[in-house]
Structure formats: structure tokens, C-alpha cells
A and B are shown apart, each in its own frame.
Chain A
Amino acid sequence: MTNRNRIHIADWEIEREQSYAYWLMCAPIGDSAKSRLLLRFGRPSGVFEASEKALLDSTLSIGKKERWIAYIKERKEKNAKREYEELQTKGILFYPEYHPHYPVKLLSIPARPFGIFVKGKLPDIRQRSLAIVGARDCSEYGQYVARHFAEKMAQNGVAVISGLARGIDGIAQRAAMEAGGESFGVLGSGADICYPKSNEKLYRMCMERGGILSTYLPGTPPTPNLFPPRNRIISGLSDGILIIEAREKSGTIITADLALEQGKDVFVIPGRVTDRLSDGCNSLIRQGASLIQSPEQLLEELHIGYGKVPVTGYEEEEDPCEQGKESGKVQSDNRETFSQFTLEEQAFLQLFDLELLSIEQIRRKMVANSFLKNITLPQTMEMLMKFVIMGQLRAEGGYYAKMMSGIGDKK
């Protein structure tokens, strides 16, 4: 099916054709027009060497011809070679659609890109991959869930694909790579441009431990109109897409729609109905997307997870993935001692959630609690610090929240 609308070029010829293919990639015409030209002339060099008339005849349907004509007139073999060499010196790989390395998953998506630029590597065909997308201005809950799921995916060999954006995207990718997994970032700009700037570190990490992908020419600056099309690449490259926190009418929901069009599975983390940040997620669930409560469910849906790590492992203390990490160890120690806390202390810990609470908010909850009514403010602060040091609570600025150890854990 996929071979019907694209050419085939023998392996030994591919390298020779690359500079012509890059020339064609840079042409000011649409992706489908490029594909048509290839089908007509057989190979990139064929397109390059075709007469101006022949080229224009096969691209009658395109709109603005002036730039295209000028582009044809200006073509010089020397320049095409030099420009492709320049691309190579930048460390950017280029795979046109007929290339054996061109991601197979992209071949079947509507409006597939003519070529793809890569810094680092491409996702392995045999590897399972999951897109994790969500709100940029995410809540603590979203951050935690993103981190947790990404870690579990990484530990089970699932590559995390996302947009290297602020918020959920970046958090998930970082967590996946920090857990030793691979992650691929699809950019809405040239592959050599890091946007947002604040994710510079993540960008470099991604280059080393995964790949930076883009369908835009190197040097293309990020503009708002470039982002929705790249969302189709994110979903296209993945086996499924996990949505964590999305407002109604957000970029994330667009990505979910694209994923559905491409026939991918859409998984959604539910949120509270009072959270505007979860409105988009909840309505996706209402429309029939699958609700995900734990990483195990997700792995099951992706038909993996039984192999590498026993699913039950997450509920036990002897989680092999957690055991190596220091934080995991502290938490398991604490959970054993939980019953040693006094009733007061237990009631105190019950006040906390993922939400960040200021001391004043904690005090208000305490006043309403019969166990904790009589505790003074200085005593409250002492307890807070004690639990922070023990690793039961976590502090961020002057705000406090529960230190979460896992999702779906049963106390």
C-alpha cells in the first residue's frame, strides 16, 4: 500500500541522490507536489535534471508559481551539492520519503511529510512509542503524573515522543530520559533551533539520548502556524497518545483529534471536574477515549509490560526499578513506619495532596479537623519540617504537598 505512492531507489544509489533530494525538499512547493514529481521522474536526480517545462507541466496545480520558477532557474548542481554538505556539517540527517530510514509509521498518515530532518537518531521501528502531551502551564498534579508515567514507560522500553515544549511535554521527556529511556522531540521549527530557549538543556539531552525531529528546513524560526502541523508528526510517530491535562480548546486537544484521524489510540488521564486544566481530558473521556489510571493499564493497552517488569512490582516495596534509586528507598522505609505515627500525625499527613498548600491553607484545614484543632502554629511548622526531612512531604518555596510514591498504590 505504501509502495504504491512512492518510488523505490536501490540502497547503493541513495547516497548519490541525497543532495538532489535535499534540493527538492527545499523547493517552495507542497509536500504532495514533491511526491508527485518524484513519481513522474523516478528519482530526485531525475527531477533536478528535468527541463523547466516538464517540471512546470507536472506542477500545474500549485498556486504561486513565481518562486518555484525562479527556484528551477537558479538550480546548479554545484550549489545543490554544497548545500547538502553544509547540512551534513551541521550534524543534521535528512531522510526523504523513499529512504529506508524514513519512519514507517509516518508513511500512512494523511499529509505525510516529504522528508524529515533528524538530530540524533530516529525511533527504532521495533520499539514501542508513546506520545505524552499536555498543557504548558500544568498543575502540580500534571507534573507529577507526567513524570511518573514517563518514568514507567522508559523503564519498560517505551520511547516517549513529545514536542519539547514547556510543561507536560518537557517534563515527560526529561523524566523518561532521566529514567534511562529514549525520548524524541518533534519541533515546530528547524531541527537546529531550540524553542523554548529555557529547554536548552533538555534539547541537548534529547539529542544524545534520543532524537530531535523536524519536518521544517534547518534555520526555520518557530512561528505559531508551524506548531499544529508538527502535532500530526508527534501522534504519527507514536503507537498511542497519552493526554495529561488539557484545557478545552487547546493545542493538546488538536493533537488528540489528529491522533484519532490517524487511527491511533488516545489515552487520557482524568482530572477533577472542578479543574479547568482537566476539562479537555474529561471531555475526551466522555467522547470515548480510554481512561488511564495507572502506568500498568497503559502498558497493557500498548500490549507490553509483562515482559520486563512484573506489573505487580509497582504495588510491592521490592520494585526493582525503584530499589536502585535513593528516593525510592527512603519512601519505602517511610511507608513501613507509617503505622508508627501517632493519630495526630497521621491525620496531619492526610491533609496533604498533590496540590501545593501554603501554611495558612494547612492551618485552615487543621482548624476544621478535630484531631488537629489544638495544634499551634509553631507546632505545625515543626511537624511540617519533620515530615519534609522524612520525605513524607515535599516543600516548594513556602508551599507544601504530599510526596507521591506511585499511582495506583494501595495503602
Chain B
Amino acid sequence: MFQVFYAGGIQGMNAYKVRVEADVSNGLPGFEMVGSLACEVREAKERVRVAMKNAGFPLPVARITVNLSPAQIKKEGTGYDLAIATAILACMGMVKKEGLESTAFLGELALSGEVHKTDGALPIALQLQKDGIQRLVVPCANVEECRMVPGLTVVPMRDMQDLSAFLRTTEEKRKEWEVRGAGVNAGQDRTDFMQANSEQNMLDFSQVSGQESMKRAACVAAAGFHHLLFSGPPGAGKTMIAQRIPGILPPLTREEQLEVMSIYSIAGKPLTKMRPFQAPHHTISPQALAGGGRIPKPGVLSLAHRGILFLDEMPEFSANVLEVLRQPLEEKKVQIARTQGVYRYPAEFMLVCALNPCPCGYFPDRNRCRCTEPEIRHYLGKISGPILDRIDICVEAAPVTIKDLDAPASGYDTKTLRVMVEEAREMQKKRYRETAYDFNGEVSGNDVKKFCRLGEKEQRFLEQAYEAGQMSVRSYHKIIKLARTIADLEHADEISVAHLAEAICYHSGKRLFERRNE
């Protein structure tokens, strides 16, 4: 007897619907699985056999064949167990098939019969919904993420007993299952959104004393999607400020949330609805950053998608790791080539870097810093030109003294800054309504003239700044874009000299990297 049910699989970022076919027929007793399966999928037969036995549904002494189609795609992951078990139960005549035509099953079975969480449930659910599936049976631990998908009813499944009961009842009774909560079995690590949220909410800019210029720079960077670099002595609060930047970005929209959560779901990481903040340690490998493995999983760059990638102690990162950043900074995605194809993961993040101005960290305070010029040049030289080129803002953090800690906090707190950022982004949205751009930081050189016009006075100011050696031809467009963002923050329609001056200030910090040879 032959039965068909549906499940879903993941390849890179793309999910696809999988037809799970099972057949129980007379012949030499055995369990065969076909359909281009990776070893963890092939092992499903042992999990399913033992789980069913322990749940009180021993497999019939017959020849069982399971096929996962489309057969040309290599199947990965452990999410097919539930669909296989369902198909076999159906073959055994233990399922009321009416109403299950548009139901899909996702989940891994334990030998006890319990249903365990599976990676990538969210993108699979999104794809299955598009493919006409209306109901999705998932492990309790995956319920929350799948319920994010509009137009899809989600049924949490605890164990085999549950599954068998669900399959045997009538369609009316099944409706009751759809409203069931995830229950106590829910994986703590996956669904506790609230906890992560409150942790993020604890971080506020007002907790950082002083460092007004860094806060302002963070605000400008967040408003116009400019990449940011902090340079300063240890203990100046570079990391503290970086950690607080997600808080001043507007909350993720629903689409963005689905996008970000899909990546986390595939990577098997705890999900959050907040802006991601990724701060890899400087010993990270290029593979961990970009994503890797035989079947590539998303790396840190993709986990920072729509959020912040914070590189602390940037010169300590190995050169080949930093070079990995080049493609994503340009194309906003990571491409990983394997024999079976090219995997693309989105990686549109705001880069925030922090570094010390010299190996000891105290330059230009010559009383504390005894680094030689070549040492400093060598240290800063570890950051290559192309990476530096993509960073628009560079600010110096000043060392903090006890007196500063007592000083009253400046007017910048997370709430005010977020309002400023949101308003500035609103202005950009209007400006780039009919273009591919979202932010000032993304505008390419040719379009700068179109969107960021300068008056005569402003033009002359830039020329003067150029003559005074404060900017290069190379940085011309970047400064104008940056000035546009500053103008947006102040609700100004036209870029003024003040905006340009501030932009040049932010940009000239980078000239520390080109210190002249003396």
C-alpha cells in the first residue's frame, strides 16, 4: 500500500517542498530509503523504526520502501523523520487521510518517540506556505518561529503518541490541536524571545558617560548606514557604544524579521526579533566568518544581516579574515562555492570596528606611549586600503578619567537617538523612493550629484578644505554622502557648510592610517 505526505528541506538559504512516499508490501522484511539522501537522512530509518516500536506501533514484518522526491536534490537534515513515520503509519492503515492533503510534517524523532527540534523550520515553513501547504506539524520547539508565517496553521507535536492521536482523529477535532500551545516541552533556547529582548533593552546610551563624539558618530552612522570605526585607548567605551547601536536602529519590520530569523533558523541559533549584534573574537577563521562546511552554513557575516557586525581590536584579526569582508561590504551577500552549486547568504550589515591607535593603545599621549612610528604604521597597516575605503566615519575616543565618570551624562540616550535615526531614515526613504537605494551610505558615486546637491558656498568650502589638505579627491563623494546624512538628522533639505564640516571631521580620522613618514 502506497502513501504520500509532505515535508520540507533546505539547500543554502532556499527551502523546497519534499514529497515523502512510503510503501509497505510483501516480500523479504526490510526498510529501504531512496532519493539522494545524506547519511543523517538515511539514518532516519533506524530512528523511525525504534521510535515507532517504543511508542507501541511496531513496524509490520514486510518490505518497507521510502522515497523522498524530488530525487535529484541531495537531502540534508533530520526534519524528515516525522513525515516518514506518518507515511508508514498511513500504510499501516492507522491514519484518517481526509483533510491531510495540504498538511506537511517536520521534525526529528528520538528513540523514545519524542519529537525533537529541527534546524531551518522557519524558511521551510515560508516556502511550504507558498507551495500550498496550509497546515504544518512541527516539534514544540519550532512552533514559535513557524507561527510567524502568515496563512499557515501550526500544530505542535510532542511525541509519537501525540502524532498517532492527531492522525487518527477527525478533521474537526484536529482544529483543536492547532490552537495548542507549545507546552512545557518547548526548547528553552529557541523560543524565549522575551528574554533576549529585555537583555537588549537594558543597554542604553545614557549608561556611557561622556564620549559625546562617539555617540554622535554612532547616530550618524546608524541613520545613513555608514560603516564606522572607533579608535582610542583601552577602556574608553568603544565596545560599550558599539553594543548599544542596535538599540538606536529602528525595529526590524516583519519581512526583515522573517529574513533574519530564517538565517538563524538555518544556522540552528537561538532566534530573536531584535536587530542582530555579532561580535566575533579576533581569532575567528575566514570560514566561521563567511560561512562554511561541506554543506555551507551561514557564518557570522550572515548572522549579522540587518544588524551590526562589531570587530573589536580590528588589527588583531588575521589579514585573510579581514579580506573576507570585502565582498559582503560591496555586494551585501556572501557567496560560497561548492561542487554542488553556489550558496548565497545575505549579509547586509553595518560594520562597526574598534581599534587602538597604536600597539600599546595610548598614542598620541607620548608620556604613556613609547611605540615607534614604524610600529604604529605597521599596526594600523594591517587594515587594508579596500576595507578602510568602505568605512565612512572614523572617530577618536578619548581616555576616560575618574572625573569624567562623575560628569553628568550628555543629552544622548537611546530613546532620543532612535527617534533621530528613524526620522533621518524616513527622509531617506522619501528621497530614494524610486531607486534601488535605501540609505545615503549606499548611493554610488554617479548618483551622488543627483541626490546630494551642493550650493555654491558649500562647493567653495569643499574646495578650501581640499586645498587645506583635509580631504582627497577619493573621499569627495563619501564626504558629501555623509553630509547628506547629517543634514537628514537635522531635518535640513539642503546640505550646509556645517554639515560638510562635520562630515570632513569624521572622515579625516581615517588619515591617521596615512600618517606621513618622518
**Which residues of A are at the interface with B, using a C-beta cutoff of 8 A?**
136-140, 143, 166-167, 170-171, 174, 196, 198, 201, 274-277, 355-356, 358-361, 363-364, 367, 377-379, 381-382, 384-386, 388-389, 391, 395-399
Whole-angstrom distance between the Cβ of A159 and the nearest chain B Cβ:
21
Q: Are A360 and B211 in contact (CB under 8 A)?
A: yes
Whole-angstrom distance between the Cβ of A334 and the nearest chain B Cβ:
13
One of B6-14, B81-89, B142-150, B463-471 contacting the partner: B463-471
Q: For residue A275, which residues in chain B have a CB less than 8 angstroms away from its CB?
A: 366-367
The complex places the Cα of A276 from the Cα of B232 at a distance, in Å, of 21
Whole-angstrom distance between the Cβ of B365 and the nearest chain A Cβ:
9
The complex places the Cα of A138 from the Cα of B465 at a distance, in Å, of 28
Q: Are B505 and A385 in contact (CB under 8 A)?
A: yes
Most buried by B among A275, A363, A398: A398
Pairs A–B under 8 Å by Cβ, sample size 28: A136-B372, A137-B370, A166-B372, A166-B373, A171-B518, A198-B517, A274-B367, A275-B367, A277-B367, A356-B364, A359-B213, A359-B505, A360-B210, A360-B212, A360-B213, A364-B404, A381-B501, A381-B502, A385-B501, A388-B470, A389-B465, A391-B468, A395-B511, A397-B396, A398-B505, A398-B508, A398-B509, A398-B511
A198-B374, A388-B465, A398-B509 given; name 7 further pairs at CB < 8 Å: A137-B366, A140-B364, A360-B396, A364-B210, A378-B216, A396-B511, A397-B513
- Label chain A's interface by main secondary structure: helix
Whole-angstrom distance between the Cβ of B498 and the nearest chain A Cβ:
4
Q: Are A395 and B470 in contact (CB under 8 A)?
A: yes
Q: For residue A201, which residues in chain B have a CB less than 8 angstroms away from its CB?
A: 517
Q: Are A381 and B505 in contact (CB under 8 A)?
A: yes
Residue of A170, A378, A389 touching B486 (CB-CB under 8 A): A378
Q: Which chain A residue shows the least CB distance to B469?
A: A395
Q: Are A166 and B394 in contact (CB under 8 A)?
A: no
Q: Are B508 and A395 in contact (CB under 8 A)?
A: yes
Tally of contacts, chain A with chain B, CB under 8 A: 120
The complex places the Cα of A387 from the Cα of B492 at a distance, in Å, of 24
Whole-angstrom distance between the Cβ of A372 and the nearest chain B Cβ:
14
**Is B321 close to A, CB under 8 A?**
no
Q: For residue A381, which residues in chain B have a CB less than 8 angstroms away from its CB?
A: 498, 501-502, 505
Q: Please list the 5 inter-chain residue pairs (A to B) with the smallest Cβ-Cβ separation, ordered nearest first.
A: A397-B512, A398-B509, A360-B398, A358-B396, A385-B501
The complex places the Cα of A378 from the Cα of B489 at a distance, in Å, of 11
Q: For residue A395, which residues in chain B have a CB less than 8 angstroms away from its CB?
A: 470, 508, 511
Whole-angstrom distance between the Cβ of B330 and the nearest chain A Cβ:
25
Q: Are B396 and A137 in contact (CB under 8 A)?
A: no
The complex places the Cα of A360 from the Cα of B214 at a distance, in Å, of 8
Whole-angstrom distance between the Cβ of A204 and the nearest chain B Cβ:
14
Whole-angstrom distance between the Cβ of B221 and the nearest chain A Cβ:
15
Residue of B214, B216, B372 touching A137 (CB-CB under 8 A): B372
Q: Are B372 and A377 in contact (CB under 8 A)?
A: no
**Is B417 close to A, CB under 8 A?**
no
**Is B504 close to A, CB under 8 A?**
yes
**Is B153 close to A, CB under 8 A?**
no
Q: Are B398 and A361 in contact (CB under 8 A)?
A: yes
Q: For residue A399, which residues in chain B have a CB less than 8 angstroms away from its CB?
A: 364, 396, 512
Whole-angstrom distance between the Cβ of B60 and the nearest chain A Cβ:
76
Q: Are B366 and A277 in contact (CB under 8 A)?
A: yes
The complex places the Cα of A328 from the Cα of B366 at a distance, in Å, of 28
